[in-house]
Structure 1
Amino acid sequence: MEHVPADDIALLMILAGPAGSGKTTLCERIVADNDRIERLVTCTTRQPRENEIDGMDYHFLSNEAFDENIEAGAFLEWAKVHTNRYGTLKSVIEDKLTEQIDLVMNIDVQGVATVRETAASHPAIEQRLVTVFIMPSDFDELRRRLHGRGQDDEQEIARRIQSAEAEVKQWSSFDYVIRSKSKEEDYAAIRSIWQAEKRKASRLG
Protein backbone atom coordinates (compact mmCIF):
# COMPACT_ATOMS: atom_id res chain seq x y z
CA MET A 1 0.00 0.00 0.00
CA GLU A 2 1.30 3.41 -0.98
CA HIS A 3 1.43 6.09 1.72
CA VAL A 4 0.77 9.74 0.92
CA PRO A 5 2.09 12.30 3.43
CA ALA A 6 -0.71 13.81 5.46
CA ASP A 7 0.43 17.38 4.71
CA ASP A 8 -0.02 16.93 0.96
CA ILE A 9 -2.74 18.96 -0.72
CA ALA A 10 -5.78 16.72 -1.11
CA LEU A 11 -7.41 16.12 -4.49
CA LEU A 12 -10.91 15.32 -5.70
CA MET A 13 -10.48 12.99 -8.67
CA ILE A 14 -13.61 12.19 -10.66
CA LEU A 15 -13.83 9.23 -13.01
CA ALA A 16 -16.60 9.20 -15.60
CA GLY A 17 -17.49 7.00 -18.51
CA PRO A 18 -20.24 4.80 -19.88
CA ALA A 19 -21.72 1.99 -17.79
CA GLY A 20 -19.39 -0.99 -18.12
CA SER A 21 -16.28 1.11 -18.80
CA GLY A 22 -14.66 -0.10 -15.58
CA LYS A 23 -14.69 3.17 -13.64
CA THR A 24 -16.12 1.61 -10.48
CA THR A 25 -13.42 -1.08 -10.44
CA LEU A 26 -10.71 1.56 -10.91
CA CYS A 27 -12.07 3.59 -8.00
CA GLU A 28 -12.16 0.56 -5.74
CA ARG A 29 -8.62 -0.49 -6.61
CA ILE A 30 -6.93 2.88 -6.17
CA VAL A 31 -8.64 3.23 -2.79
CA ALA A 32 -7.52 -0.26 -1.74
CA ASP A 33 -3.92 0.43 -2.78
CA ASN A 34 -3.50 3.86 -1.14
CA ASP A 35 -4.01 4.70 2.50
CA ARG A 36 -4.78 8.39 1.96
CA ILE A 37 -7.47 8.00 -0.70
CA GLU A 38 -11.13 7.38 0.06
CA ARG A 39 -14.02 6.68 -2.27
CA LEU A 40 -16.57 9.45 -2.07
CA VAL A 41 -19.91 7.89 -1.22
CA THR A 42 -22.72 9.53 -3.18
CA CYS A 43 -26.49 9.48 -2.71
CA THR A 44 -29.01 7.67 -4.86
CA THR A 45 -32.73 6.98 -4.98
CA ARG A 46 -32.30 3.57 -6.62
CA GLN A 47 -32.77 0.34 -4.71
CA PRO A 48 -29.64 -1.39 -3.32
CA ARG A 49 -28.29 -4.25 -5.38
CA GLU A 50 -27.33 -7.53 -3.77
CA ASN A 51 -24.36 -7.10 -1.38
CA GLU A 52 -24.51 -3.27 -1.50
CA ILE A 53 -24.33 -1.60 1.91
CA ASP A 54 -25.92 1.74 2.79
CA GLY A 55 -23.24 4.28 3.66
CA MET A 56 -20.48 2.28 2.01
CA ASP A 57 -21.59 1.78 -1.59
CA TYR A 58 -24.13 4.61 -1.65
CA HIS A 59 -26.31 6.60 0.69
CA PHE A 60 -29.67 5.14 -0.34
CA LEU A 61 -32.31 7.87 -0.01
CA SER A 62 -36.04 8.01 -0.53
CA ASN A 63 -37.30 10.41 -3.18
CA GLU A 64 -38.59 12.64 -0.39
CA ALA A 65 -35.20 12.81 1.35
CA PHE A 66 -33.48 13.48 -1.96
CA ASP A 67 -35.88 16.36 -2.65
CA GLU A 68 -35.12 17.85 0.77
CA ASN A 69 -31.39 17.89 -0.01
CA ILE A 70 -32.05 19.60 -3.34
CA GLU A 71 -34.17 22.28 -1.69
CA ALA A 72 -31.47 22.84 0.95
CA GLY A 73 -28.78 23.29 -1.72
CA ALA A 74 -26.83 20.43 -0.17
CA PHE A 75 -25.68 18.79 -3.41
CA LEU A 76 -22.57 19.76 -5.35
CA GLU A 77 -24.29 18.01 -8.24
CA TRP A 78 -27.23 15.78 -8.82
CA ALA A 79 -28.67 14.18 -11.93
CA LYS A 80 -31.34 11.80 -13.10
CA VAL A 81 -29.81 8.79 -14.80
CA HIS A 82 -32.31 6.54 -16.52
CA THR A 83 -35.02 6.21 -13.85
CA ASN A 84 -33.01 7.06 -10.70
CA ARG A 85 -31.37 10.13 -9.20
CA TYR A 86 -27.80 10.48 -7.94
CA GLY A 87 -26.22 13.31 -5.96
CA THR A 88 -22.99 14.38 -4.26
CA LEU A 89 -23.10 16.20 -0.92
CA LYS A 90 -20.89 19.31 -0.71
CA SER A 91 -20.41 18.93 3.03
CA VAL A 92 -18.83 15.48 2.68
CA ILE A 93 -16.29 16.72 0.11
CA GLU A 94 -15.34 19.82 2.07
CA ASP A 95 -14.87 17.87 5.30
CA LYS A 96 -12.63 15.24 3.70
CA LEU A 97 -10.48 17.76 1.81
CA THR A 98 -10.04 19.76 5.02
CA GLU A 99 -8.79 16.55 6.65
CA GLN A 100 -6.28 16.32 3.73
CA ILE A 101 -7.78 13.09 2.46
CA ASP A 102 -7.83 12.52 -1.29
CA LEU A 103 -11.21 11.60 -2.72
CA VAL A 104 -12.07 9.57 -5.79
CA MET A 105 -15.56 9.16 -7.18
CA ASN A 106 -17.29 7.88 -10.28
CA ILE A 107 -20.30 9.69 -11.67
CA ASP A 108 -22.02 10.07 -15.02
CA VAL A 109 -20.86 12.55 -17.65
CA GLN A 110 -23.67 15.04 -17.06
CA GLY A 111 -22.80 15.02 -13.36
CA VAL A 112 -19.22 16.07 -14.12
CA ALA A 113 -20.44 19.11 -16.05
CA THR A 114 -22.59 20.13 -13.09
CA VAL A 115 -19.68 19.63 -10.67
CA ARG A 116 -17.51 22.01 -12.69
CA GLU A 117 -20.22 24.63 -12.77
CA THR A 118 -21.00 24.42 -9.06
CA ALA A 119 -17.34 24.15 -8.01
CA ALA A 120 -16.66 27.49 -9.69
CA SER A 121 -18.21 29.14 -6.63
CA HIS A 122 -16.33 26.84 -4.22
CA PRO A 123 -12.59 27.54 -4.76
CA ALA A 124 -11.52 24.96 -2.18
CA ILE A 125 -13.12 22.29 -4.37
CA GLU A 126 -12.43 23.76 -7.82
CA GLN A 127 -8.67 24.05 -7.23
CA ARG A 128 -8.44 20.36 -6.30
CA LEU A 129 -10.69 18.95 -9.00
CA VAL A 130 -9.27 16.46 -11.54
CA THR A 131 -11.56 14.86 -14.13
CA VAL A 132 -10.83 11.64 -16.02
CA PHE A 133 -12.90 10.08 -18.80
CA ILE A 134 -12.72 6.31 -19.34
CA MET A 135 -13.16 5.76 -23.08
CA PRO A 136 -14.38 2.27 -24.04
CA SER A 137 -12.26 0.55 -26.67
CA ASP A 138 -15.39 -0.04 -28.77
CA PHE A 139 -19.10 -0.54 -28.27
CA ASP A 140 -18.99 -4.28 -28.91
CA GLU A 141 -16.61 -4.66 -25.97
CA LEU A 142 -18.81 -2.41 -23.87
CA ARG A 143 -21.85 -4.54 -24.70
CA ARG A 144 -19.90 -7.68 -23.77
CA ARG A 145 -18.97 -6.17 -20.39
CA LEU A 146 -22.57 -5.16 -19.68
CA HIS A 147 -23.77 -8.68 -20.47
CA GLY A 148 -21.00 -10.09 -18.28
CA ARG A 149 -22.13 -8.09 -15.25
CA GLY A 150 -25.48 -9.88 -15.34
CA GLN A 151 -27.28 -6.88 -13.83
CA ASP A 152 -29.39 -5.63 -16.73
CA ASP A 153 -31.87 -7.05 -19.22
CA GLU A 154 -31.55 -6.54 -22.98
CA GLN A 155 -33.70 -3.42 -22.98
CA GLU A 156 -31.58 -1.78 -20.27
CA ILE A 157 -28.34 -2.75 -22.02
CA ALA A 158 -29.61 -1.19 -25.26
CA ARG A 159 -30.45 2.00 -23.34
CA ARG A 160 -27.01 2.08 -21.76
CA ILE A 161 -25.29 1.63 -25.13
CA GLN A 162 -27.34 4.49 -26.53
CA SER A 163 -26.30 6.66 -23.57
CA ALA A 164 -22.67 5.64 -24.09
CA GLU A 165 -22.74 6.83 -27.69
CA ALA A 166 -23.73 10.30 -26.46
CA GLU A 167 -21.31 10.28 -23.52
CA VAL A 168 -18.16 9.55 -25.53
CA LYS A 169 -18.75 12.74 -27.52
CA GLN A 170 -17.98 14.70 -24.33
CA TRP A 171 -14.43 13.36 -23.88
CA SER A 172 -12.72 16.64 -24.80
CA SER A 173 -14.18 18.44 -21.77
CA PHE A 174 -12.15 16.27 -19.35
CA ASP A 175 -8.66 16.90 -17.97
CA TYR A 176 -7.55 13.38 -18.93
CA VAL A 177 -8.83 10.58 -21.16
CA ILE A 178 -7.94 6.91 -20.70
CA ARG A 179 -8.70 4.66 -23.66
CA SER A 180 -9.67 1.45 -21.89
CA LYS A 181 -7.48 -1.59 -22.53
CA SER A 182 -6.78 -4.27 -19.93
CA LYS A 183 -7.60 -3.82 -16.25
CA GLU A 184 -3.88 -3.55 -15.42
CA GLU A 185 -3.19 -0.98 -18.12
CA ASP A 186 -6.19 1.11 -17.09
CA TYR A 187 -5.11 1.02 -13.47
CA ALA A 188 -1.52 1.99 -14.32
CA ALA A 189 -2.88 4.96 -16.26
CA ILE A 190 -5.14 6.21 -13.48
CA ARG A 191 -2.38 5.79 -10.90
CA SER A 192 0.04 7.80 -13.07
CA ILE A 193 -2.52 10.59 -13.38
CA TRP A 194 -3.05 10.68 -9.63
CA GLN A 195 0.69 10.76 -8.90
CA ALA A 196 1.27 13.53 -11.46
CA GLU A 197 -1.54 15.64 -10.03
CA LYS A 198 -0.25 15.16 -6.49
CA ARG A 199 3.16 16.44 -7.52
CA LYS A 200 1.59 19.39 -9.32
CA ALA A 201 -0.62 20.25 -6.34
CA SER A 202 2.35 20.11 -3.96
CA ARG A 203 4.33 22.54 -6.12
CA LEU A 204 1.42 24.94 -6.47
CA GLY A 205 0.62 24.70 -2.78
Structure 2
Amino acid sequence: MVTRPPAPALLLIVAGPTASGKTTLCERMVAECPGVERVVTSTTRPVREGEVHGRDYYFFRSDEFECLAAEGAFLETAEVHGNRYGTLRSVIEEKLAAATDLVMNIDVQGVRNVRRAAAGNALIGPRLVTVFILPPNLDELRQRLVDRGTDDEAAIERRLETARGELAAWSEFDFCIVTRGKEEDFRTLHAIWTAEKNRVARLLGENSAG
Protein backbone atom coordinates (compact mmCIF):
# COMPACT_ATOMS: atom_id res chain seq x y z
CA MET A 1 0.00 0.00 0.00
CA VAL A 2 1.36 3.42 -0.97
CA THR A 3 1.38 6.16 1.68
CA ARG A 4 -0.90 9.04 0.80
CA PRO A 5 0.72 12.48 0.54
CA PRO A 6 -0.89 15.45 2.29
CA ALA A 7 -3.86 17.48 0.99
CA PRO A 8 -5.06 19.24 -1.16
CA ALA A 9 -6.56 16.95 -3.77
CA LEU A 10 -5.43 16.86 -7.39
CA LEU A 11 -7.09 16.18 -10.72
CA LEU A 12 -4.46 13.98 -12.37
CA ILE A 13 -5.05 13.43 -16.09
CA VAL A 14 -3.03 10.74 -17.86
CA ALA A 15 -2.95 10.58 -21.65
CA GLY A 16 -0.93 8.88 -24.33
CA PRO A 17 -1.22 6.76 -27.46
CA THR A 18 -2.89 3.37 -27.52
CA ALA A 19 -0.90 0.59 -25.80
CA SER A 20 1.23 3.10 -23.90
CA GLY A 21 0.14 1.66 -20.55
CA LYS A 22 -1.87 4.68 -19.42
CA THR A 23 -4.96 2.69 -18.44
CA THR A 24 -2.95 0.32 -16.25
CA LEU A 25 -1.24 3.25 -14.54
CA CYS A 26 -4.57 4.89 -13.72
CA GLU A 27 -5.95 1.62 -12.37
CA ARG A 28 -2.92 1.20 -10.11
CA MET A 29 -3.23 4.74 -8.79
CA VAL A 30 -6.79 3.96 -7.70
CA ALA A 31 -5.91 0.51 -6.33
CA GLU A 32 -2.73 1.41 -4.46
CA CYS A 33 -3.07 5.05 -3.40
CA PRO A 34 -5.59 5.64 -0.58
CA GLY A 35 -8.05 8.41 -1.33
CA VAL A 36 -7.58 8.34 -5.11
CA GLU A 37 -10.70 7.72 -7.20
CA ARG A 38 -11.25 7.49 -10.93
CA VAL A 39 -13.42 10.16 -12.48
CA VAL A 40 -16.90 8.83 -13.26
CA THR A 41 -17.78 10.21 -16.68
CA SER A 42 -21.12 10.58 -18.45
CA THR A 43 -22.41 8.81 -21.54
CA THR A 44 -25.44 8.38 -23.76
CA ARG A 45 -24.72 4.74 -24.55
CA PRO A 46 -27.10 2.10 -23.17
CA VAL A 47 -26.47 0.67 -19.72
CA ARG A 48 -24.78 -2.73 -19.90
CA GLU A 49 -25.59 -5.63 -17.61
CA GLY A 50 -24.04 -5.10 -14.18
CA GLU A 51 -23.38 -1.39 -14.68
CA VAL A 52 -24.66 1.09 -12.10
CA HIS A 53 -25.52 4.75 -12.68
CA GLY A 54 -23.06 6.90 -10.76
CA ARG A 55 -20.56 4.10 -10.26
CA ASP A 56 -19.58 3.06 -13.79
CA TYR A 57 -20.97 6.06 -15.68
CA TYR A 58 -23.62 8.70 -15.37
CA PHE A 59 -26.12 7.56 -17.98
CA PHE A 60 -28.15 10.17 -19.85
CA ARG A 61 -30.55 10.19 -22.78
CA SER A 62 -29.18 12.00 -25.82
CA ASP A 63 -31.48 14.98 -25.30
CA GLU A 64 -30.47 15.24 -21.63
CA PHE A 65 -26.80 15.12 -22.57
CA GLU A 66 -27.18 17.80 -25.24
CA CYS A 67 -29.04 20.04 -22.80
CA LEU A 68 -26.24 19.71 -20.25
CA ALA A 69 -23.64 20.40 -22.94
CA ALA A 70 -25.49 23.54 -24.04
CA GLU A 71 -25.49 24.74 -20.43
CA GLY A 72 -21.71 24.30 -20.21
CA ALA A 73 -21.98 21.51 -17.65
CA PHE A 74 -19.12 19.48 -19.16
CA LEU A 75 -15.39 20.14 -18.98
CA GLU A 76 -14.97 18.08 -22.15
CA THR A 77 -17.06 15.93 -24.46
CA ALA A 78 -16.37 13.42 -27.20
CA GLU A 79 -18.28 11.17 -29.58
CA VAL A 80 -17.27 7.52 -29.86
CA HIS A 81 -19.12 5.04 -32.10
CA GLY A 82 -22.19 7.26 -32.19
CA ASN A 83 -22.42 7.76 -28.42
CA ARG A 84 -21.56 10.92 -26.49
CA TYR A 85 -19.19 10.97 -23.53
CA GLY A 86 -18.35 13.82 -21.20
CA THR A 87 -16.86 14.90 -17.87
CA LEU A 88 -19.24 16.81 -15.64
CA ARG A 89 -17.75 19.93 -14.10
CA SER A 90 -19.87 19.51 -10.95
CA VAL A 91 -18.55 15.99 -10.31
CA ILE A 92 -14.95 17.21 -10.42
CA GLU A 93 -15.64 20.23 -8.24
CA GLU A 94 -17.51 18.24 -5.57
CA LYS A 95 -14.75 15.64 -5.28
CA LEU A 96 -11.91 18.16 -5.17
CA ALA A 97 -13.75 20.26 -2.58
CA ALA A 98 -14.05 17.11 -0.45
CA ALA A 99 -10.25 16.56 -0.72
CA THR A 100 -10.66 13.49 -2.93
CA ASP A 101 -7.85 12.95 -5.43
CA LEU A 102 -9.03 12.14 -8.94
CA VAL A 103 -7.37 10.36 -11.84
CA MET A 104 -8.67 10.09 -15.37
CA ASN A 105 -7.53 8.80 -18.72
CA ILE A 106 -8.69 10.79 -21.75
CA ASP A 107 -7.33 11.58 -25.20
CA VAL A 108 -5.15 14.54 -26.13
CA GLN A 109 -8.04 16.66 -27.40
CA GLY A 110 -9.93 15.96 -24.19
CA VAL A 111 -6.97 17.19 -22.16
CA ARG A 112 -6.87 20.39 -24.19
CA ASN A 113 -10.56 20.95 -23.56
CA VAL A 114 -10.25 20.31 -19.81
CA ARG A 115 -7.27 22.65 -19.55
CA ARG A 116 -9.16 25.37 -21.39
CA ALA A 117 -12.24 24.94 -19.18
CA ALA A 118 -10.17 24.81 -15.99
CA ALA A 119 -8.16 27.95 -16.77
CA GLY A 120 -10.72 30.25 -15.16
CA ASN A 121 -11.83 27.85 -12.44
CA ALA A 122 -10.35 28.68 -9.02
CA LEU A 123 -10.97 25.16 -7.72
CA ILE A 124 -9.94 22.99 -10.66
CA GLY A 125 -7.27 25.14 -12.30
CA PRO A 126 -4.58 25.04 -9.58
CA ARG A 127 -5.17 21.33 -8.96
CA LEU A 128 -4.97 20.15 -12.57
CA VAL A 129 -1.89 18.07 -13.43
CA THR A 130 -1.40 16.51 -16.88
CA VAL A 131 0.94 13.61 -17.65
CA PHE A 132 1.77 12.18 -21.07
CA ILE A 133 2.89 8.56 -21.36
CA LEU A 134 5.44 8.34 -24.17
CA PRO A 135 6.62 5.03 -25.66
CA PRO A 136 10.34 4.98 -26.52
CA ASN A 137 9.56 4.84 -30.25
CA LEU A 138 6.92 3.79 -32.76
CA ASP A 139 8.57 0.40 -33.31
CA GLU A 140 8.05 -0.38 -29.63
CA LEU A 141 4.46 0.80 -29.85
CA ARG A 142 3.84 -1.36 -32.92
CA GLN A 143 5.23 -4.40 -31.12
CA ARG A 144 2.94 -3.81 -28.14
CA LEU A 145 -0.06 -3.64 -30.48
CA VAL A 146 1.03 -6.86 -32.19
CA ASP A 147 1.54 -8.57 -28.83
CA ARG A 148 -1.96 -7.64 -27.68
CA GLY A 149 -3.34 -9.73 -30.52
CA THR A 150 -6.60 -7.81 -30.76
CA ASP A 151 -6.11 -6.00 -34.08
CA ASP A 152 -5.32 -6.99 -37.64
CA GLU A 153 -2.54 -5.27 -39.59
CA ALA A 154 -4.85 -2.60 -41.03
CA ALA A 155 -6.18 -1.71 -37.59
CA ILE A 156 -2.66 -1.53 -36.19
CA GLU A 157 -1.67 0.90 -38.94
CA ARG A 158 -4.69 3.08 -38.17
CA ARG A 159 -3.79 3.11 -34.49
CA LEU A 160 -0.19 4.00 -35.28
CA GLU A 161 -1.30 6.87 -37.51
CA THR A 162 -3.44 8.23 -34.68
CA ALA A 163 -0.52 7.74 -32.30
CA ARG A 164 1.78 9.83 -34.48
CA GLY A 165 -0.51 12.82 -34.06
CA GLU A 166 -0.80 12.23 -30.31
CA LEU A 167 2.94 11.87 -29.84
CA ALA A 168 3.46 15.32 -31.34
CA ALA A 169 1.46 16.80 -28.43
CA TRP A 170 3.70 15.57 -25.59
CA SER A 171 5.19 19.04 -24.98
CA GLU A 172 1.74 20.42 -24.12
CA PHE A 173 1.69 18.39 -20.90
CA ASP A 174 3.02 19.26 -17.46
CA PHE A 175 5.01 16.01 -17.32
CA CYS A 176 6.12 13.32 -19.74
CA ILE A 177 6.98 9.76 -18.72
CA VAL A 178 9.05 7.80 -21.24
CA THR A 179 8.01 4.21 -20.59
CA ARG A 180 10.68 1.90 -19.21
CA GLY A 181 8.58 -0.79 -17.55
CA LYS A 182 5.38 -1.08 -15.55
CA GLU A 183 6.97 -0.76 -12.11
CA GLU A 184 9.29 2.12 -12.98
CA ASP A 185 6.52 3.96 -14.80
CA PHE A 186 4.23 3.64 -11.78
CA ARG A 187 6.94 4.84 -9.39
CA THR A 188 7.49 7.86 -11.63
CA LEU A 189 3.78 8.67 -11.80
CA HIS A 190 3.44 8.30 -8.04
CA ALA A 191 6.44 10.58 -7.51
CA ILE A 192 4.82 13.20 -9.75
CA TRP A 193 1.59 12.91 -7.76
CA THR A 194 3.42 13.30 -4.44
CA ALA A 195 5.47 16.29 -5.60
CA GLU A 196 2.48 18.04 -7.14
CA LYS A 197 0.40 17.56 -3.99
CA ASN A 198 3.08 19.39 -2.05
CA ARG A 199 3.48 22.09 -4.70
CA VAL A 200 -0.25 22.80 -4.81
CA ALA A 201 -0.41 22.84 -1.01
CA ARG A 202 2.25 25.55 -0.96
CA LEU A 203 0.55 27.40 -3.80
CA LEU A 204 -2.76 27.43 -1.98
CA GLY A 205 -1.19 28.28 1.36
CA GLU A 206 -2.22 25.01 2.94
CA ASN A 207 -0.22 23.04 5.45
CA SER A 208 1.73 20.44 3.45
CA ALA A 209 3.12 18.88 6.62
CA GLY A 210 0.00 16.71 6.91
TMscore range, shorter length: 0.7 to 0.9
Matched, 1:66 2:58: no
Pair 189,142 (structure 1): closer, same or farther in 2 beyond 3 Å: same
User: Displacement of 1:83 after TM fit?
Assistant: 5.7
The Cα shift of 1:36 comes to 1.2
Counterpart AA for 2:113: T
Give the structure-1-normalised TM-score: 0.86
Once residues 117 and 142 of structure 2 are traced to their aligned partners in structure 1, the CA distance between those partners, rounded to angstroms, is 33
- TM-score, normalised to structure 2, is 0.84
Matching residue's letter, 1:108:
D
Q: Secondary structure at the match of 1:20?
A: coil
Question: Partners of 1:69 and 1:149 in 2: how far apart?
Answer: 37
Q: Deviations for 1:57-111, whole angstroms, at most 9, x for unmatched residues?
A: 5445554443233123211111335765431110110010011011111100011
Q: CA deviation at 1:162?
A: 1.0
CA drift at 1:40: 0.8
Alpha-carbon distance in 1 for matches of 2:144, 2:107: 17
Q: Residues of 2 paired with 1:108 and 1:68: CA distance?
A: 23
2:3 aligned with 1:8: no
Q: CA RMSD in A?
A: 2.6
2:78 maps to which residue? 79
What's 2:25 paired with?
Answer: 26
Gaps of 5+ in 1: none
* CA distance in structure 1 between the partners assigned to 2:156 and 2:83 by the alignment: 16
The count of aligned residue pairs is 204
> What is the alpha-carbon distance in structure 2 between the residues aligned to residue 191 and residue 103 of structure 1?
13
Partner of 2:165: 166
1:103-155 per-position Cα deviation (integer Å, ceiling 9, x unaligned): 11110001111111111121210010001001112223223333444554544
CA distance in 2, matches of 1:53, 1:72: 25
Q: 1:54 & 1:154 partners in 2: Cα distance?
A: 37
Amino acid at match of 1:4: R
Pair 1:161–1:60, CA change in 2 (3 A): farther
Question: 1:122 matched to which residue of 2?
Answer: 121
Note the C-alpha offset of 1:56.
4.2
Instruction: Tell whether the 8 Å contact from 1:3 to 1:36 is kept in structure 2 after alignment.
Output: no
Percent same amino acid at aligned positions?
55
In structure 1, what is the equivalent of residue 208 of structure 2?
Answer: none
Q: Distance in 2 between matches of 1:19 and 1:61?
A: 27
Distance 1:86 1:19, change over 3 A: farther
Larger radius of gyration: 2
- The gaps in structure 2 that reach 5 residues or longer are 206-210
**2:106, 2:50 → 1: CA distance?**
20
